[in-house]
């Protein structure tokens, strides 16, 4: 549950409301509801699949088992590439808040330190994540209380017709905002990738996913109401640091440094969980010879795939050191939505005795993922489709040249 919370209550909650309000205006809260419904369906489908296939790899494993090798492979590519970009963006978020004059230097240092924590063992990473999540929740609670008790809080800003600074939101704007907000909800995937490192995964992972998602929704709703009520749609959409601006507008400027510290802590927690998840999917793909076999080595002392963890950390550190990937939210969202579309399609194929969710859940999740993916900025959609095309080409080459039979997927019909 802590891993899921650390991934979801990360830097997104400090930054994502501004771009979402920019495209949805006063429709921010309905967009949050749409994102939450799609996230619930995805989490339910993923939880049922995780109970059936408690192994590292998440939807990469589920897609191979239920739909075929290609779909699982594409889900793995979408997750690893998209979330590697997210890791670099989160690291730059740490650097931007901690030392704005040298964000890249701090970003690389953060990646090195958190990769070291993950390599030391998943239980140590979770222990650190528990501390980071606790601090972030305290800071967010302070923001909500300050804003809701301020004389500047205006309930009129929460209405769809929030005159005079916002027009009635369009359906397209609400869906586009929901796609951006989904980026901040997507952390529960990290739980499914840790199936081999959890006690009683068939019981633990589904419960942890849904509880973490419920807590996150309550937190996001409270923060969204607080900042939207104080700033209004127009000011929120134009803010570079919406939570900081909200507490200042509410007359509590002394709290602003605390909010900045909270943003650093939350981004660090999210980065920690992201590094865990990406490395475990890399491990699963390496086991099946789609990536170099050395990445499948697991430490006998810590039970951690340290080669995969160190490789992912190195790639993210290089990206964070030389690139500005904070504009890659759309690209990352596209990859994550494709990943969960495969998860929902896989859940549809479960039989009742395998723990199949109600039929409407995977249908709603699949349609929701594809719809939100199509409403993302055109550049993100084109880049995402290019990523999938490249992945399909690489799949054809690796399938042709891999030596030996394909690794057996747990539970797959032979």
Residue 413 covered by a domain? no
Q: Which domain holds residue 220?
A: 2-400
Give, in degrees to the nearest 5, the angle at Cα 360 between 354 and 362: 60
Residue 250 covered by a domain? yes
pLDDT surpasses 80 at 233: yes
pLDDT per position as a tens digit, 160-184: 764 444 456 688 889 989 988 887 7
Residue 354 covered by a domain? yes
Read off the DSSP letter of residue 99.
-
Contact 238, 18 (CB under 8 A): yes
Share of the chain above pLDDT 90, in %: 39
Overall number of domains in the chain:
1
pTM: 0.80
pLDDT per position as a tens digit, 266-296: 888 778 878 887 888 898 889 888 888 899 9
pLDDT of residue 413: 42
Residue 412 covered by a domain? no
* Averaged pLDDT, 194-200: 70
Please report which residue ranges of 99-200 form alpha helices under DSSP H.
103-119, 122-148, 171-185, 189-192
pLDDT surpasses 50 at 118: yes
Strand, helix or coil for residue 329: helix
Residue 27 covered by a domain? yes
* Averaged pLDDT, 14-40: 89
Residue 410 and residue 412: Cα distance in Å, rounded?
6
CATH number at residue 11: 1.20.1740.10
Mean pLDDT of the chain: 84
Give, in degrees to the nearest 5, the angle at Cα 242 between 240 and 244: 100
Residue 274 covered by a domain? yes
pLDDT surpasses 80 at 76: yes
pLDDT of residue 407: 46
Residue 140 covered by a domain? yes
Strand, helix or coil for residue 405: coil
pLDDT per position as a tens digit, 139-155: 999 999 999 999 999 99
Share of the chain above pLDDT 70, in %: 88
Cα→Cα distances 223→28, 44, 179, 376, Å: 12, 24, 18, 23
Task: Look up tokens 């000011």; give the residue.
Answer: 235
Contact 334, 376 (CB under 8 A): yes
Residue 410 and residue 64: Cα distance in Å, rounded?
10
Residue 377 covered by a domain? yes
């Amino acid at each position: 549950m802590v891993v899921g919370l650390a991934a979801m209550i990360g830097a997104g909650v400090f930054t994502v409301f501004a771009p979402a309000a920019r495209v949805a205006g006063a429709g921010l809260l309905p967009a949050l509801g749409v994102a939450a419904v799609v996230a619930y369906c995805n989490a339910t489908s993923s939880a049922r699949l995780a109970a059936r296939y408690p192994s590292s790899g998440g939807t990469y494993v589920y897609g191979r088992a239920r739909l075929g090798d290609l779909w699982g492979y594409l889900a793995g590519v979408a997750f690893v590439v998209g979330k590697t970009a997210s890791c670099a963006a989160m690291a730059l978020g740490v650097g931007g808040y901690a030392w704005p004059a040298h964000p890249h230097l701090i970003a690389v240092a953060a990646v090195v330190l958190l990769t070291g924590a993950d390599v030391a063992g998943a239980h140590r990473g979770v222990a650190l994540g528990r501390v980071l999540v606790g601090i972030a929740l305290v800071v967010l609670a302070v923001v909500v209380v300050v804003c809701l008790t301020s004389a500047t809080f205006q309930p009129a800003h929460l209405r769809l017709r929030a005159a005079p600074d916002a027009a009635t939101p369009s359906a397209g704007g609400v869906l586009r905002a929901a796609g951006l907000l989904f980026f901040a909800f997507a952390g529960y995937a990290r739980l499914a990738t840790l199936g081999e490192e959890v006690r009683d995964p068939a019981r633990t992972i589904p419960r942890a996913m849904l509880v973490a998602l419920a807590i996150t929704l309550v937190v996001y709703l409270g923060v969204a109401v607080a900042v939207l009520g104080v700033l209004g749609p127009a000011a929120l959409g134009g803010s570079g640091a919406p939570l900081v601006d909200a507490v200042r507008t509410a007359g509590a400027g002394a709290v602003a440094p605390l909010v900045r510290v909270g943003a650093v802590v939350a981004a660090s927690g999210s980065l920690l969980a992201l590094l865990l998840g990406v490395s475990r999917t890399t491990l699963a793909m390496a086991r099946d010879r789609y990536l170099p076999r050395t990445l499948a080595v697991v430490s006998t002392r810590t039970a951690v795939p340290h080669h995969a963890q160190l490789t992912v950390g190195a790639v993210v550190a290089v990206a964070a050191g030389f690139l500005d990937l904070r504009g890659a939210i759309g690209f990352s969202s596209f990859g994550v939505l494709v990943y969960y579309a495969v998860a929902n399609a896989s859940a549809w194929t479960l039989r009742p005795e395998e723990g199949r969710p109600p039929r409407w859940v995977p249908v709603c999740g699949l349609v929701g993922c594809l719809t939100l993916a199509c409403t993302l900025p055109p550049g993100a959609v084109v880049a995402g489709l290019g990523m999938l095309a490249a992945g399909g080409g690489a799949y054809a080459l690796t399938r042709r040249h891999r030596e030996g039979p394909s690794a057996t997927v747990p539970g797959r019909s032979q």
